[in-house]
């Protein structure tokens, strides 16, 4: 039996559960959040970024019920010092222009990310 691997760093992508998007659109939005947030960390917390890259870039995609909850999660991330990025859609396909779809948090130390997102459920 394989030993469970632990990760010192991870990134969380938090999406809105109240939006009715196609799977492809969700994948694109999550990818935007991952890139935007990781670029922020690369510039401000290079050791976190490098550690995350060495470990294989662990990501988890979680969901909240609505925009207000997403905004609160971002505020908490900011308050504990984790860089984050909000994805605002251009509105070319499935949602109105300016729709906030998700937030990328980190990468950052896993224990810090868990303080912000530990109570959220996985996105399905």
DSSP-assigned letters across all residues of 87-104? EE---SSSS-TT-EEEEE
**Structure confidence by residue, pLDDT tens digits, 14-71:** 999 999 999 999 999 999 999 999 999 999 999 999 999 999 999 999 999 999 999 9
- List strand residue ranges (DSSP E) for 1-124, in order: 9-16, 59-64, 84-88, 100-109, 121-122
Asked, for residue 1, whether it belongs to a domain, the answer is no
pLDDT tens sequence across 61-90: 999 999 999 999 999 999 999 999 999 999
Domain that holds residue 41: 9-118
Relative orientation angle of helices 23-44 and 46-55, to the nearest 10 degrees: 130
Mean pLDDT of the 95-112 span: 97
Q: How many domains does the chain have?
A: 1
Residue 123 belongs to a domain: no
**Residue 3 within any structural domain of the chain:** no
pTM, to two decimals: 0.94
Measured CA angle at 18 (ends 111, 80), to 5 deg: 25
Residue 56 lies in a domain: yes
| Residue 108's CATH number | 3.40.1490.10
State the pLDDT at residue 3. 77
At 4 the pLDDT is 80
Is the per-residue pLDDT at 115 higher than 80? yes
């Amino acid at each position: 039996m394989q030993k469970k691997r632990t990760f010192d760093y991870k990134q969380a992508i938090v999406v809105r559960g109240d939006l009715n998007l196609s799977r492809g659109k969700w994948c694109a939005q999550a990818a935007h959040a991952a890139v935007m947030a990781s670029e922020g960390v690369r510039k401000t917390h290079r050791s976190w970024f490098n550690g995350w890259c060495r470990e294989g870039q662990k990501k988890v995609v979680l969901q909240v019920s609505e925009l207000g909850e997403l905004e609160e999660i971002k505020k908490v991330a900011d308050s504990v010092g984790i860089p984050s990025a909000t994805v605002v859609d251009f509105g070319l396909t499935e949602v109105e222009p300016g729709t906030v779809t998700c937030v990328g948090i980190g990468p950052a130390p896993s224990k810090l990310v868990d303080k912000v997102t530990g109570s959220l459920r996985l996105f399905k």
